[in-house]
């Protein structure tokens, strides 16, 4: 027998989300709770997978299961599917496992045709209602099933309104709606070559297939890639008896959050439209009313809704996002899910629920989408008196942003690729713009409410967004926008404050983020749970101080070359590189030494006894010299005017030096420890600066813990030689203090050979720090810039790679090297300290990997630290859960 592929809502529950999708699982759960849910059934995600296997067809078994479920619905609703007198109408709704708001499609009013529409009209004594439903069905079916642009339908509606002199949809007469259904049917025929199907089962079959298909539409794919949702999960389909919010002034439809999704405040927060159907609110076509107005208009409905909302929140123990429809003052719920929220709201809600005793410490920590956390550390518009907004809209997603106005997603994407900051400005918000939102610093729209799909998506991405700004109008032909009396061109800079809804011309000053008391509380909870230490990648005393404020427990990577770049130092560094003799170089190094020393002193002070990992010079020397073409240009200009003979000489020398330093492939050339071995005096100076700084700082009563890191080691002898240098210089510089200051010498593991030979390397190392940026480049043999610029995207599209290995550690390949190296290293030296630096140190899945592998620490950029603290705690909880599951399985299996 084949697996059951259709579940009535009565047969499921919320734990079956993997099979029924989030929407289906929760509809079943709410049905079991006895809430007012229109009856229906769910076609499973497995059926979706079979659909793809069968080349886009529904199997015979599935079709008959669907028919049986429909006949159950008919009994409950006392109606018949396709019946001319008592027609049953259903919605066909997508429902993936992980919520993807607006990314896939839903069709309403299915089951209407030229005959059943008459039945509906008689039944409800409203022809205008019946034909309104019918025209909506044809348009949705045309768009979603047959791929006809929705614009064509809405244009026809606009034409009709102009001809008939109607201001709003509410004024359209029954005759006019009826006429429109005729026009729509012609449009369908003309664009798809087929008639709008009159057979209701054919409608249903085609709609179900279309929803399955929508799993693979472009925007859904982009969304999945963005949130690392597996492509093979598939979507469920929900078929549900219709309830109607478009039955006049006593009906309506809306969306509600049980807490404020922007701030987390405990208040009902929602929007609704009177006399409207489902999609009208989320599609952002009309700007909806605030829920508070419902309290005045229909107090008993409001109270009922409020009671259901708080019941659902208590049941799920989390903030819910609820869809509802009111039909003739009767309330129905159509969906609940845990609500998307800003980071600020997420933190506040988690802490509030924890303090109210609703959830545990572990649950509170897991409630934070680690991906949202760094959003909290976004900057906001400084509250300045003299800033005068051009316009005000709805504050849909907090934070301040500035960028060049781009009027469509393609433009936004193209400009972003050219390195510009862009502000996506559009009339209404459509989920199809997701790539534009992704490219933009922020989003501004003329229509649509706080619950419109674009607002939801922007909040999810942590992008500032202002919606429903009715002073905004756009002239897409002329590429200009009007904001009140002001005219701006596409390409002009515009700023928005998504926290207040204000819109400004030009750039505005942005102020730095603050840690709220709730965030500090939550991070404190995470610190109680986590095992990994969190270090910072910090190159300057300023970075070191910020890192400590954000909770760093040490510096995992201080790139000393960054100290070479600062303004006044660079010329000295350049002369040092250009030096003809060792003597000359030594004397210049002597001038650089005190500069480095004073930086190290400041950093030691900032770290106040915490370990500080200092990496000796890594990049090839030519990186410190100016660009060859620019120098050539300068020289030519001087030669033309015949001036500056001395300068000409200097330029020529520099050009010759750069040529001599040029390499075929600098990434694999003279850099890292190779440089240190070739020019020992450079490392010598750096080591001396570190220990002089350590000595002075310790002398002032501050504990110091220097850890010297040798980059790019590929062979144990490289490390052996340089370690000897460190020990020699340390004992010379420290003298008496040698006994009281302890230091470590270790290496960055970033060349695959070093990982493979980890036991030999460990003989000379006190610590390993996995430099996963280079290790990834060298393991894959990709240079990052070339890969990301040229082929990585197509690899991701083709599923050759399942994620960008420079963002998410490649656990199968690079990860294996790390595991191997840790195991070999620790065999040789049990007290070997291990950690990871590189961008992966701030990535959740990579942090999970570090926890699993038993590393001691991860190191990431300062503003990622709160994120890393949270992810490290989540990693511990995930590991515990996994262990618990294994134990549970072990118990259950023998009984079976
Ligand atoms: P999405 O996942 O894009 O939100 P939904 O399947 O939830 O899509 O449906 C879109 C809109 O249609 C929602 O507002 C929903 O409440 C409404 N809707 C869906 N099914 C019904 C139904 N049976 N009766 C009335 N409204 C419905
Ligand atoms: Mg929905
Ligand atoms: Mg490196």
Range of weakest confidence among 379-388, 401-410, 705-714, 851-860 = 379-388
Ligand 1 lined by 108 (C-beta under 6 Å): yes
Ligand 1 lined by 325 (C-beta under 6 Å): yes
DSSP H helical segments within 215-276, as ranges? 218-226
pLDDT at position 602: 95
pLDDT at position 536: 94
Taking the C-alpha atoms of residue 106 and residue 819, their distance in angstroms, rounded to an integer, is: 46
pLDDT at 4 over 70: yes
Residue nearest to atom 18 of ligand 1 (CA): 278
Reported confidence tier of residue 219, pLDDT bands at 50, 70, 90: confident
Q: What's the average model confidence in pLDDT over 634-662?
A: 89
Query: Please, what sign has the CA dihedral across residues 576, 582, 588, 589?
Result: positive
pLDDT at position 399: 85
Q: What is the pLDDT of residues 331-369, one digit of tens each?
A: 999 999 999 888 889 999 999 999 999 999 999 999 987
User: Are the CB atoms for 742 and 761 separated by under 8 Å?
Assistant: no
Environment of ion ligand 2 (residues, CB < 5 A): 335
pLDDT at position 428: 76
Number of C-beta neighbours around residue 540 at 10 A: 17
Of 317, 306, 312, 302, the residue nearest 34 (C-alpha): 312
Tokens representing 765 are 């190392």
235-241, strands of its sheet edge to edge: 6-8, 40-43, 235-241, 90-96, 106-110
Residues 6+ apart with CB under 8 A from 713: 672, 673, 719, 747, 748, 749, 751, 754, 761
Residue nearest to atom 6 of ligand 1 (CA): 93
pLDDT at position 561: 81
pLDDT at position 894: 39
pLDDT at 574 over 90: no
Q: What is the pLDDT of residues 576-595, one digit of tens each?
A: 988 888 899 999 999 999 99
User: Are the CB atoms for 730 and 687 separated by under 8 Å?
Assistant: yes
Q: What is the pLDDT of residues 699-736, one digit of tens each?
A: 999 999 999 999 999 999 999 999 999 999 999 999 98
Ligand 1 lined by 256 (C-beta under 6 Å): no
pTM summary value: 0.74
Secondary structure class of 678 (helix, strand, coil): helix
Position with higher pLDDT, 219 vs 460: 219
Reported confidence tier of residue 690, pLDDT bands at 50, 70, 90: very high
Task: Give the mean pLDDT of the chain.
Answer: 91
Taking the C-alpha atoms of residue 804 and residue 792, their distance in angstroms, rounded to an integer, is: 7
In angstroms, the Cα distances linking 67 to 27, 37, 204, 236 are 20, 21, 10, 17
Taking the C-alpha atoms of residue 93 and residue 852, their distance in angstroms, rounded to an integer, is: 39
Taking the C-alpha atoms of residue 14 and residue 16, their distance in angstroms, rounded to an integer, is: 5
Residue nearest to atom 9 of ligand 1 (CA): 106
Residue nearest to atom 26 of ligand 1 (CA): 278
pLDDT at position 493: 95
Q: Choose one of 137, 323, 451 to mutate for the ligand 1 pocket test, by most ligand atoms within 8 angstroms of C-beta.
A: 323
Tokens representing 587 are 């004397």
Ligand 1 lined by 93 (C-beta under 6 Å): yes
pLDDT at position 893: 42
Tokens representing 162 are 């102009």
Counts for the chain of helices (H) and strands (E), in that order: 36, 31
Of 692, 696, 722, the residue nearest 708 (C-alpha): 722
Q: Is 328 left (phi over 0), alpha (psi -120 to 50) or beta?
A: left
Tokens representing 199 are 């057979």
pLDDT at position 786: 81
Residue nearest to atom 23 of ligand 1 (CA): 242
330-338, strands of its sheet edge to edge: 289-290, 269-274, 252-257, 320-327, 330-338
Ligand 1 lined by 278 (C-beta under 6 Å): yes
Gyration radius of the chain over CA positions? 32
Position with higher pLDDT, 653 vs 323: 323
Position with higher pLDDT, 672 vs 563: 672
Helix (H) or strand (E) holding 406: strand 400-406
Q: What CA dihedral angle connects 414, 420, 425 and 430, to 10 degrees?
A: 40
DSSP classification of residue 506: S
Of 110, 102, 177, 106, the residue nearest 137 (C-alpha): 110
Taking the C-alpha atoms of residue 268 and residue 728, their distance in angstroms, rounded to an integer, is: 68
Taking the C-alpha atoms of residue 349 and residue 352, their distance in angstroms, rounded to an integer, is: 5
pLDDT at position 433: 78
Q: Choose one of 139, 275, 334, 337 to mutate for the ligand 1 pocket test, by most ligand atoms within 8 angstroms of C-beta.
A: 334
HSE (CB half, 13 Å, CA atoms) of 459? Answer: 30
Q: What is the pLDDT of residues 767-812, one digit of tens each?
A: 999 999 999 999 999 988 788 778 887 898 888 998 889 889 999 9
pLDDT at 67 over 90: yes
pLDDT at 890 over 80: no
Helix (H) or strand (E) holding 785: helix 784-786
Of 313, 324, 332, 256, the residue nearest 290 (C-alpha): 256
Q: What's the average model confidence in pLDDT over 677-685?
A: 94
Taking the C-alpha atoms of residue 228 and residue 808, their distance in angstroms, rounded to an integer, is: 10
**Bridge partners of residue 473, in order along the sequence:** 482
Ligand 1 lined by 102 (C-beta under 6 Å): yes
pLDDT at 495 over 80: yes
For the CA of 245, the nearest atom of ligand 1? 25
Of 34, 61, 36, 26, the residue nearest 47 (C-alpha): 61
Residues 6+ apart with CB under 8 A from 426: 407, 408, 433, 443, 444, 445, 446, 474
Per cent of the chain over pLDDT 70 is 96
pLDDT at 892 over 60: no
Q: How far apart are the first and last CA of the chain?
A: 21
Secondary structure class of 95 (helix, strand, coil): strand
User: Are the CB atoms for 148 and 161 separated by under 8 Å?
Assistant: no
Q: What is the pLDDT of residues 750-771, one digit of tens each?
A: 999 999 999 999 999 999 999 9
pLDDT at position 320: 97
Tokens representing 600 are 């190290």
Secondary structure class of 197 (helix, strand, coil): coil
pLDDT at position 888: 64
pLDDT at 895 over 50: no
Task: Give the distance, in angstroms, between the CA of residue 361 and the centroid of all CA atoms in the same chain.
Answer: 25
pLDDT at 475 over 50: yes
pLDDT at position 429: 66
Catalytic positions are 453, 837
DSSP H helical segments within 7-59, as ranges? 17-32, 45-53
Q: What is the pLDDT of residues 126-158, one digit of tens each?
A: 999 999 999 999 999 999 999 999 899 999 999
Tokens representing 464 are 């500032």
Taking the C-alpha atoms of residue 874 and residue 529, their distance in angstroms, rounded to an integer, is: 8
């Amino acid at each position: 027998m084949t697996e059951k592929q259709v579940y009535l809502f009565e047969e499921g529950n919320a734990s079956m989300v993997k099979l029924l999708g989030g929407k289906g699982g929760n509809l079943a759960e709410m049905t079991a709770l006895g809430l007012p849910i229109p009856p229906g059934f769910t076609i499973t995600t497995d059926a979706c997978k079979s659909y793809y296997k069968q080349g886009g067809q529904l199997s015979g078994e599935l079709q008959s299961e669907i028919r049986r479920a429909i006949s159950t619905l008919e009994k409950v609703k006392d109606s018949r599917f396709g019946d001319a007198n008592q027609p049953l109408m259903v919605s066909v709704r997508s429902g993936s496992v992980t919520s993807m708001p607006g990314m896939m499609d839903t069709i309403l009013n299915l089951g209407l045709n030229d005959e059943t529409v008459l039945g509906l009209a008689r039944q409800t004594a409203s022809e205008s209602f019946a034909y309104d439903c019918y025209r909506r069905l044809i348009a949705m079916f045309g768009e979603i099933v047959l791929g006809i642009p929705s614009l064509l339908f809405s244009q026809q509606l606009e034409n009709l309104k102009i001809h008939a002199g109607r201001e709003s949809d509410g004024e359209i007469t029954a005759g006019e709606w009826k006429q429109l259904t005729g026009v729509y049917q012609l449009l369908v025929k003309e664009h798809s070559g087929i008639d709008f199907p009159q057979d209701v089962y054919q409608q249903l079959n085609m709609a179900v297939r279309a929803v399955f298909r929508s799993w693979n539409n472009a925007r859904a794919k982009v969304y999945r890639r963005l949130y690392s949702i597996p492509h093979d999960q598939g979507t469920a389909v929900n078929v549900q008896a219709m309830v109607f919010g478009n039955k006049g002034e006593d009906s309506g439809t809306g969306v509600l959050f049980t807490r404020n999704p922007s701030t987390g405040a405990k208040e009902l927060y929602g929007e609704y439209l009177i006399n409207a159907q489902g999609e009208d609110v989320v599609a952002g076509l009309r700007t909806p009313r605030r829920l508070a107005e419902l309290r005045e208009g229909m107090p008993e409905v409001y109270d009922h809704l409020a009671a259901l909302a708080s019941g659902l929140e208590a049941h799920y123990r989390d903030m819910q996002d609820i869809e509802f429809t009111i039909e003739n003052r009767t309330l129905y719920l159509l969906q609940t899910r845990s609500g998307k929220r800003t980071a600020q709201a997420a933190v506040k809600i988690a802490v509030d629920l924890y303090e109210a005793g609703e959830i545990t410490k572990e649950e509170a920590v897991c409630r934070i989408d680690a991906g949202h956390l760094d959003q909290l550390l976004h900057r906001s518009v400084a509250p300045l008196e003299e800033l005068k907004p051009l316009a005000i809209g709805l504050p849909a997603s907090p934070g301040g942003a500035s960028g060049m106005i781009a009027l469509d997603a393609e433009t936004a994407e193209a400009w972003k690729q050219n390195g510009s900051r862009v502000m996506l400005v559009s009339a209404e918000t459509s989920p199809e713009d997701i790539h534009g939102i992704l490219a933009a610093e922020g989003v501004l729209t003329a229509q649509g409410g706080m619950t419109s799909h674009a607002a939801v998506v922007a909040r999810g991405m942590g992008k500032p967004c202002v919606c429903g700004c009715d002073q905004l109008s756009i002239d897409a032909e002329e590429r200009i926008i009007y904001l009140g009396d002001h005219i701006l061109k596409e390409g002009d800079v515009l700023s928005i404050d998504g926290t207040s809804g204000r819109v400004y011309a030009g750039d505005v000053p942005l102020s730095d983020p603050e840690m709220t008391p709730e965030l500090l509380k939550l991070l404190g909870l995470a610190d109680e749970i986590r095992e990994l230490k969190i270090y910072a990648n910090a190159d300057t005393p300023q970075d070191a101080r910020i890192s400590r404020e954000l909770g760093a427990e040490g510096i995992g990577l201080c790139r000393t070359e960054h100290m070479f770049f600062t303004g006044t130092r660079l010329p000295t560094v350049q002369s040092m590189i250009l030096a003809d003799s060792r003597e000359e170089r030594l004397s210049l190094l002597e001038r650089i030494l005190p500069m480095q020393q004073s930086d190290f002193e400041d950093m030691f002070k900032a770290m106040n006894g915490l370990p500080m990992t200092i990496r000796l010079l890594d990049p090839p020397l030519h990186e410190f010299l100016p660009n060859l073409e620019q120098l050539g240009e300068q020289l030519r200009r001087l030669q033309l005017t015949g001036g500056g003979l001395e300068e000409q000489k200097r330029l020529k020398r520099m050009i010759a030096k750069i040529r001599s330093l040029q390499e075929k492939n600098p990434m694999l050339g003279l850099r890292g420890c190779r440089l240190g071995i070739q020019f020992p005096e450079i490392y010598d100076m750096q080591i001396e600066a570190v220990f002089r700084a350590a000595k002075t700082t310790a002398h002032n009563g501050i504990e110091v813990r220097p850890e010297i890191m040798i980059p790019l080691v590929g062979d144990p002898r490289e490390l052996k030689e340089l370690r000897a240098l460190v020990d020699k210089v340390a004992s010379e510089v420290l003298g008496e203090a040698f006994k009281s200051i302890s230091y470590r010498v270790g290496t960055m593991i970033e060349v695959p050979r070093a990982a493979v030979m980890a036991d030999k390397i460990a003989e000379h190392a006190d610590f390993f720090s996995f430099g996963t940026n280079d290790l990834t480049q060298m393991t894959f043999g990709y240079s990052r810039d070339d890969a990301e610029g040229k082929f990585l995207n197509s690899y991701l599209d083709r599923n050759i790679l399942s994620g960008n290995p420079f963002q998410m550690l490649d656990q199968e390949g690079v990860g294996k090297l790390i595991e191997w190296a840790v195991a070999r290293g620790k065999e040789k030296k049990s007290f070997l300290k291990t950690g990871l630096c590189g961008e992966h140190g701030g990535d959740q899945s990579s942090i999970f990997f570090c926890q699993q592998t038993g590393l001691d620490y991860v190191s990431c950029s300062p503003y990622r630290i709160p994120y890393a603290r949270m992810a490290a705690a989540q990693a511990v909880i995930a590991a515990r859960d996994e262990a618990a599951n294994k134990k549970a399985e072990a118990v259950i299996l023998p009984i079976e």
